[in-house]
A and B are shown apart, each in its own frame.
Chain A
Amino acid sequence: MKIPVSVNVNGSACAKEVEGRTLLVDFLREDCGLTGTHVGCDTSSCGTCTVLVNGIAVKSCTVLAAQVEGDEVTTIEGMASNGELHPIQAAFKEKHGLQCGFCTPGMVMLAKDLLDHNPNPSADEIRHGLEGNYCRCTGYHNIVDAIQSVNA
């Protein structure tokens, strides 16, 4: 049975009829066509699917689309504005905080939440804050540098 779900994604409504079991990440990728949010595991362990729900970083594989009915969801596609990279995105580029790019959207969204709550984190605080997201390429070194440089 399908149910109607309407979510405000990156400032515009995405309203679809979906199965009740549809995860937010699948809703974003398959129903809203926003494939910037990735799926890296099936145990909510890797964080590649991290998005913001009402400003808070959430692993979008751990919530149903129906649970965020009417909420504000921000995905990686909503970060840049007017063709300009968001300062966090710019910092990742400047510090070489990405390689294959697969974990990057989740890292950027997590960094947004982290910096919103702690604008000038120490390296240790960043490493602790990134603990829920895997990156297999960078060894995290440049991701930490990138996040630390945003408000430095």
Chain B
Amino acid sequence: MGNFIGQSVKRVEDKRFLTGKGKYTDDIVLPGQTYACIVRSPYAHARIVNIDKSAAEAHEGVVAVFVGKDIDEAIGGVPCGWQVDFKNGETMKEPPHPLLVRNKALHVGDGVAVVIAEDRRTAVDAAELVDVEYEELDAVINMATAISGESVLVHDDAPNNTAFDWELGNPKADVDAALASAHHVTTLDFTNQRLVPNAMEPRAAIGSYDATNDKYVLYTSSQNPHLIRLLMCAFVLGLPEHKVRVVSPDVGGGFGSKIFHYAEEALVIWCSKQIERPVKWTSTRSEAFQTDAHGRDHQTKCQMGFDSDGKIVALKATTLANMGAYLSTFAPAVPTYLHGTLLQGLYTTPLINVDVTAVFTNTTAVDAYRGAGRPEATYLLERLLDTAALEMEVDPAELRRKNFIPAFDGVEQPGYQTQVALQYDSGNYDPVLDQALEMVGYADFRKEQAEARANGKLLGIGFSTYIEACGIAPSAVVGSLGARAGLYESAQVRVQPTGTVSVFTGSHSHGQGHETTFVQVVADKLGIPMESIELIHGDSDSVAFGMGTYGSRSLAVGGTAIVNSIDKILEKGAKIAAHKLEASVEDIEYKEGAWNVKGTDKSIGFGDVALTAYVPHDYPEGLEPGLDFSSFYDPANFTYPFGCHIAVVEVDAETGQVSLKRFIAVDDVGNVINPMIVDGQIHGGVAQGVGQALLEGAIYDEYGQLTNGSYMDYTMPRADDLPAFEVGRTTTPCPHNPLGVKGAGEAGTIGSTPAVVNAVVDALWHKGVRDLQMPLTPQRVWKAMQSSNGHS
């Protein structure tokens, strides 16, 4: 622990948010700004026969109306950032995704026209006047139907509606043989249901074109402004990047849904050029349900085999992954590189095979949502483990412990090579389980449970011991896996002449508190007050090309880039100090804000060295002036946080209502810079994971209508759905980055969902309930109780 690192420093950014001075995209008003409203397809699959926009154009206050065919064919579609080719080597099917529909709308909410007006309400009114004649086509929603060979095609050039198929791990025949000879095999068949991310700030974008300088500015609610600029300029609009500035100001949550390049971003830029005025588009919540990329939506069959001692002998998983109608930016990576590669879990399973088929349907695109693939992997493993324990009548905690990979620190002991491509960096799994068991009082729990049952109460406990891969991602690794970009991060540390410091990061904060934690790191390393340091992020004109924030990567990758820049500052500063102190550089050390000559009282402060660097009258020969360094850091490996989550639930026998009584989360995210912020990340992550287990789920009808596409119908956790969370921690440093950090943004979501479902199944097992599909609504739980054999 340093002066700042490891301390729960209160957040620097809070004041502006607490006083209403945050600046989100929709808060920005540019001179001459117009407002866009997008006309969206009400059908999941429909051919555009004709569009009459004359009435809308004639409406008072309307500036312009554009339809898909108004946009030059040379303008590209929204690209996908990852490529996963078919097992047979055939290229992934990547159908075009135009900014506005040219011929066929492929999901409800697909953009058909854009109306631009002097004010928001006029734009909405005029959008009603755009007369679109549709020829409705049969839609395909169900994945099994989509790949059956009998289905309509979402894209004519994607046979069987298949984007790609993919396999990883040991040969399927070996896994099948091990399962066939196993002492016990647990089988599950489940849906990891589709979720709608629902960051509280709806997406927004403002495009602004300056004809004088032929320059563009895009303000957008994005987690990664540089990536948006790259994708939009290089693949969609064909604009030179130096003429385009992308700014992500304050962003009201992302959870993955604001990683991706969306059509509206390129559309407002294109429109601003056409009308030579700024164009703002702000999503309504209903539009968000239809157009923000959704998460999860896997259909999985899996089997886990055990020997007579309870050791896992094999795991097999087959997954259909819904891509929706288009391939969103990260979509192909989610069920593959972020899911299949995590199926080793914390266990020594010697044989693993995972098979994934990515399916197009007439639904909103599916992409990374908090955890992205890792929650699906964890759900698969942890549901199998608890179910196996119940089937074999062994203790679920001990069954896990028996299968844990032995501790390794990644320094003295090598990293752990999995059967599914990854090499874990460091891990020590018993202590998280021990701590969680202690916190829940497991020694007494089973007695309490028996007493509760005797009193007619249905009490259950569920476990989840998870691992995740964070700090995405080593470029060489992800390049070989199909990423079309390296996932490094940039940082610039600019020491100002008077010794204050501006830090520029390619990471982007949208709730994570970087303006505090990153500054803590810099203050600690430089030994200067936090007030002397400012973090700048989210503006492509001031920040070097960076990759943004997602995949719990900011501190592990972006923080390391900052540390590397600080090292360069200190190295150069030592040369200046040595000159000023008339000592040799080897005799200089940096401590608490000053360079000292070892063993003497001679020293020079950080501010004096900074001033010398910018007023270099008395200066080392041959050394450049200035004190300003950039770094790009490309990690050596992913980081691998892990943890143990335990849920305690009570089920109402009469109504099926699940009450989450306690939730214990013991997470090991490596070293921690700000415990308060890490705990907050865990709390929020757990809430979203519990939301999936109990409440959330997008429901499409057979026609492709999202039947719960508003907050009136889609249920997210409210304050009274959740208990106070009990959070614990162990610390196993990451061996391959200087801060020893692993990342904490997704842990809560990844670990929590199966713990809750396991707890409900545990509560009802003695009633004959063997499995439940999420979300565990009272109706589903009640029905399961009624139909189970054990019902009395």
Chain A residues at the B interface, C-beta cutoff of 8 Å: 19, 21, 26, 29-30, 34-43, 45-46, 48, 75-77, 79-80, 85, 89, 92-94, 96, 98-105, 108, 123-124, 126-128, 130-131, 133-144
Contacts and interface: CB of A to CB of B under 8 A. Distances in A.
Nearest to B716: A134
Interface string B528-561: 0000000000000000000000000000000000
Given A48-B200, A127-B719, A139 B20 contact: no
Nearest to B18: A89
A69 to B, nearest CB: 20
Contacts of A96: 10-11, 676-677, 679-680
Interface string B267-287: 000000000000000001110
Contacts of B718: 130-131, 134, 140
Given A134-B711, A138-B680, A42 B285 contact: yes
Given A45-B711, A46-B285, A36 B21 contact: yes
A46 to B, nearest CB: 6
A19 B26 contact: no
Given A40-B200, A101-B14, A139-B717, 19 more contacts: A30-B120, A35-B24, A36-B21, A41-B710, A43-B285, A46-B285, A77-B20, A85-B15, A100-B17, A100-B251, A100-B510, A101-B13, A103-B200, A108-B18, A133-B719, A134-B711, A136-B688, A137-B684, A141-B680
Contact of B200 (A21, A26, A77, A135): A135
Given A19-B121, A131-B720, A134-B200, A100 B18 contact: no
A38 B120 CA distance: 16
Nearest to A92: B18
B687 interface: yes
Interface of B: 10-11, 13-24, 26-27, 120-121, 198-202, 250-253, 255, 284-286, 510-513, 676-677, 679-680, 683-688, 710-712, 716-720, 722, 724-725, 748
A108 B688 CA distance: 22
Contacts of A128: 719-720
A130 B717 CA distance: 11
5 shortest interchain CB distances as A-B pairs: A36-B20, A101-B17, A102-B252, A139-B687, A100-B511
A47 to B, nearest CB: 10
18 contacts: A37-B20, A38-B200, A39-B202, A40-B285, A41-B710, A77-B19, A77-B20, A94-B10, A99-B513, A100-B200, A101-B17, A101-B22, A102-B22, A127-B719, A137-B511, A139-B685, A140-B722, A144-B719
Contact of B19 (A19, A76, A133, A140): A76
Nearest to B285: A41
A2 to B, nearest CB: 12
Nearest to B712: A43
Contacts of B24: 35, 38, 102
Contacts of A34: 20
A130 B13 contact: no
Contacts of B725: 139, 141
A6 B23 CA distance: 26
Contacts of A141: 680, 683, 722, 724-725
A136 B684 CA distance: 7
Given A92-B14, A102-B253, A131-B718, A138 B684 contact: yes
A92 B680 CA distance: 12
A149 B251 CA distance: 28
A36 B22 contact: yes
B19 A89 contact: yes
Contacts of B284: 42
A99 B19 contact: no
Contact of B719 (A101, A108, A136, A143): A143
B684 A139 contact: yes
B257 to A, nearest CB: 10
Contacts of B748: 139
B711 A99 contact: no
A138 B20 contact: no
A140 B19 CA distance: 20
Nearest to A102: B252
A125 to B, nearest CB: 10
Nearest to A48: B200
Contacts of B253: 99-100, 102, 136-137
A126 B711 CA distance: 21
B17 A104 contact: yes
A101 B254 CA distance: 12
Nearest to B20: A36
A103 B512 CA distance: 15
Contacts of B10: 93-94, 96
B362 to A, nearest CB: 24
B710 A42 contact: yes
B27 A136 contact: no
Given A135-B200, A139-B686, A36 B19 contact: yes
A136 B683 contact: no
Which of A34, A42, A79, A105: most chain B CB closer than 10 A?
Answer: A42
B313 to A, nearest CB: 38
B720 A127 contact: yes
Nearest to B22: A101
Nearest to A90: B18
A137 B718 CA distance: 12
A99 B20 contact: no
Give the interface centre of B15, B683, B710 by most chain A CB atoms within 10 Å. B683
Contacts of A30: 120
A35 to B, nearest CB: 4
A142 B680 contact: yes
A136 B11 contact: no
Contacts of B285: 40-43, 46
B517 to A, nearest CB: 12
Contact of B199 (A79, A92, A123, A136): A136
A104 B202 CA distance: 15
B200 to A, nearest CB: 4
B775 to A, nearest CB: 16
Contacts of A142: 680, 683
